[in-house]
Amino acid sequence: MINKQVSSLEEAVSDIFDGATVMIGGFGEAGSPIELIHALIDNGAKNLTVVSNNTGSGHVGLAALIENKQVKKMICSFPRTANSMVFPELYRDGEIELELVPQGTLAERIRAGGAGIPAFFTPTSVNTPLAVGKESRIINGVENVLEYAIKADYSLVKCHKSDRYGNLIYHATARNFGPIMCSAANIAIVQSKQIVEVGELNPEEIITPGIFVKRVIEITNPAHESELVANQMKYPC
């Protein structure tokens, strides 16, 4: 088996390149891999297509990546939330692209990407602007639209505990998109609050098998996006 633990955040994201498609875990402010995102800012890769549930909060994490003009396009479900300080203005000014996807459809498109399913039909978005230009089909008397799977070059994910082989355990709702983003990316990069020796994890508690993970780094005291936003923190400072 391969030891997938890396020693630094810089090493973890070192090969993310200009123009890459990057999936970033998190549901609102829960499960956001803040340290990995900030490392990506320091990396400097530009013209990124980012797949995430939302567009970040305040001026940290994903919002900071967008504010630093490193993101060309967002594929997400909630481009504007209560703490959205960056994306809405850039979008209105035509400085960033948006592909809006209903949340359930976004999750299924990512899951399909990891499962090798090229596309699927869903009734979600029928008779809305999101269905314009898409193939449709009547199935069992119900109109459906065709949605294509999403795959990524990289995914950035946060977990609660892992081993050196990349087997992952999540904490409650911070799990959210993590498992499917790991499987849908060519290279899944994970920050873990604790990395233990192989055999110490209960196999029944492992959600993401190590086969889907390329790199894991231990961040023993990870930042919480909600606290950073409440304290009006900004990255880079």
Q: Residues 188-237: pLDDT tens digits?
A: 999 999 999 999 999 999 999 999 999 999 999 999 998 999 999 999 86
What is the pTM assigned to this prediction?
A: 0.96
Residue 35: strand, helix, or coil: helix
What own/partner pairs with CB < 8 Å and gap ≥ 24 does 100-108 have?
Answer: 100/76, 100/130, 101/75, 101/76, 101/77, 101/130, 102/77, 102/130, 103/53, 103/77, 103/78, 105/147, 106/51, 106/53, 106/75, 106/76, 106/77, 106/150, 107/177, 107/180, 108/147
What does DSSP say about strands 136-139 and 142-148: parallel, antiparallel, or unpaired? antiparallel
- The residues that bridge with 215 in the sheet, in sequence order, are 189
Domains of the chain: 9-117+151-228 (3.40.1080.10)
Q: Residues 101-130: pLDDT tens digits?
A: 999 999 999 999 999 999 999 999 999 999
Q: How far is CA 185 from CA 22, 51, 211, in A?
A: 8, 11, 12
Predicted local confidence at residue 30, as pLDDT? 87
Query: In sequence order, what E strands does 114-231 have?
Result: 119-122, 136-139, 142-148, 152-163, 168-169, 185-196, 215-218
Q: Residues 19-46: pLDDT tens digits?
A: 999 999 998 778 999 999 999 999 999 9
Predicted local confidence at residue 83, as pLDDT? 84
